[in-house]
Amino acid sequence: MKTRLVIDGNAVYEIDEECEACRYGEASCTEKKKQIEKMEKSELQKGKKTDPER
């Protein structure tokens, strides 16, 4: 996990660069890819359950 520090006066913020990539929709976001795969998988399972041909 890559992080960087941002110092603003007396405040210090630790920025998770992977999380930031997800927030801005970059392709390098692994967590977002996992969530999308999980959603697609659950949608496919729902589609099989509600298939009117069966």
- State the total domains in the chain: 1
pLDDT (tens digit per residue) in 5-53: 889 999 998 888 877 777 776 666 666 677 778 888 888 777 766 555 5
Q: Could you tell me if residue 15 is inside a domain? A: yes
Tell me whether residue 24 is in a domain.
yes
**Is residue 16 in some structural domain?**
yes
Provide the pLDDT for residue 45. 79
Inter-CA distances, 11 with 2, 7, 24, 37, 44, Å: 20, 6, 24, 37, 46
- Domain with 8, as residue range(s), is 3-49
Residue 54 maps to a domain: no
Residue 9 lies in a domain: yes
Q: How many C-beta atoms surround the C-beta of residue 32 within 10 A?
A: 17
Write out the E strands in the chain.
Answer: 3-8, 11-16
Please tell me whether the overall predicted TM-score, pTM, comes out greater than 0.95 for this model: no
pLDDT of residue 7: 92
Looking at the domain assignment, is residue 19 inside a domain?
yes
